[in-house]
Amino acid sequence: MLDVAELDARIAQIRHQIKALPEHQQLSDLQHRRADLDTKVRDARILLEDLTREQKKSDQDVEQVRTRRTRDQGRIAQGLITNPKDLERLNHELDSLERRINTLEDIELEIMERVEEAQASFNEYQEALTTTDEEIAVVVGARDEKTGVAQVELDQVTEQRATEVFSIPTDLLALYEKVREKQGVGAAMLRARRCEGCQLTLNPADLSRITKTPLDEVVRCEECSRILVRTDESGL
């Protein structure tokens, strides 16, 4: 039974090692960072697309006014306007178009600067996202490798345990398993009057009771309920 108990302790230890791998926390931190970066990339992409459309419209606005200015300048240059009043009106319109072009070009330049800033932000977030994905892949690889090694040992120990339990009487094994469900390990050696399961020294009354109990009867620790295995080292 002590062999089974030792194997159960090792099984619990291996499972704890797998659960407590530092890569689990590293992955959690990286995944939180990735989620934040993914949101930033999405928002930056939307902003960049909006600004790109705005820049395209601004370019069209400037081009339309320039086309109109070129048309009016051509009419004057070709002498198509002979009426002084019409000529004066057209010159006023050209002055207005020039001012409008200057205003639209300023707007166009401002939008271009905003597009460049948005593009830079998008590139920065995208690069950080790519780097984070690479880091995640490395950590996942390390986690899987360590888990794989531990799992091989866990399978071996579990198989060994399955062999060992065949030598334990059915009723005793049932009691052991019931205790194990609560304590992780169902039996412990009584060594030097101390339960090696909970590491507590038994009081004189319990020791007296155990001493009087036949060796073929089960005794249990009053503190942790584990089955106590008596040997020459028990100190009874």
Of 131, 164, 197, the one marking the end of a domain is 164
Indicate the number of domains in the chain.
2
Q: Is 154 in contact with 11 (CB distance < 8 Å)?
A: yes
**What is the edge-to-edge ordering of all strands in the sheet holding 187-191?**
194-195, 187-191, 227-230, 219-220
> Of 23-32, 79-88, 158-167, which has the strongest mean pLDDT?
23-32
The pTM for the full model equals 0.72
**Structure confidence at residue 54 as a pLDDT band (50, 70, 90):** very high
Pairing mode, strands 219-220 and 194-195: unpaired
Position 235 in a domain: no
Q: What percent of the chain has pLDDT over 70?
A: 100
- Of the pLDDT bands very low, low, confident and very high (cuts 50, 70, 90), residue 55 is very high
Per-residue confidence band for 232, with pLDDT thresholds at 50, 70 and 90: confident
| b/e code 55-77 from CB counts within 10 Å (16+ = b) | beebeebbeebeeebeebeeeee
Task: Let me know if residue 27 belongs to a domain.
Answer: yes
**DSSP calls for 29-70:** HHHHHHHHHHHHHHHHHHHHHHHHHHHHHHHHHHHHHHHHHH
36 and 129 in a common domain:
yes
At 70-122, the pLDDT tens digits run 988 888 888 877 888 888 888 899 999 999 999 999 999 999 999 999 999 99
Strand pairing partners for 194? 191, 201
For residues 126-154, average pLDDT: 97
Q: Measure the CA–CA gap between 26 and 22, rounded to whole angstroms.
A: 6
Give pLDDT, residue 90: 85
Domain final residue pick, 149, 164, 179 = 164
Phi, psi of 116, deg, nearest 5:
-65, -40
